[in-house]
Amino acid sequence: MATGVLQRVRGGFTPAKNSALSAGNLSLWVRGFSASNSRNGEDSWFRSLFVRKVDPRKDAHSTLLTKNEESNLYKIQFHNVKPECLDDYNKLCEDVLPSIHADKYYPCELVGTWNTWYGEQDQAVHLWRYRGGYPALTEVMNKLRQNKEFTAYRKERGKMLLSRRNQLLLEFSFWNEPVPREGPNIYELRSYQLRPGTMIEWGNYWARAIRYRQRNREAVGGFFSQIGDLYLVHHLWAYKDLLSREATRNAVWQQEGWHEVVYYTVPLIQHMDSRIMIPTKASPLQ
Q: What does each C-alpha distance from 92 to 62, 150, 201, 278 come to in angstroms?
A: 35, 11, 42, 17
Indicate which CATH number applies to the domain containing 135.
Answer: 3.30.70.100
By mean pLDDT, which of 153-162, 247-256, 269-278 is the weakest? Answer: 247-256
Give the domain extent around 21: 2-50
- Structural domain contains residue 285: no
- 201 shares its domain with 221: yes
274 plus 199 within the same structural domain: yes
pLDDT given for residue 63 in this prediction: 57
> Both 30 and 75 in a single domain?
no
Do residues 14 and 114 both lie within one domain?
A: no
Total of domains in the chain: 2
Could you tell me if 140 and 74 lie in one domain? yes
DSSP string for 70-106: --EEEEEEEEEE-GGGHHHHHHHHHHHHHHHHH-TTS
Task: Give the model's pLDDT for residue 212.
Answer: 84
Q: Are residues 142 and 38 in the same domain?
A: no
pLDDT of residue 164: 96
Q: Does residue 28 belong to any structural domain of this protein?
A: yes
pTM value surpassing 0.85 = no
The three-class DSSP label of residue 154 is: helix
Closest CA to 183 of 90, 283, 113: 283
Confidence of residue 174 (pLDDT cuts 50, 70, 90): confident
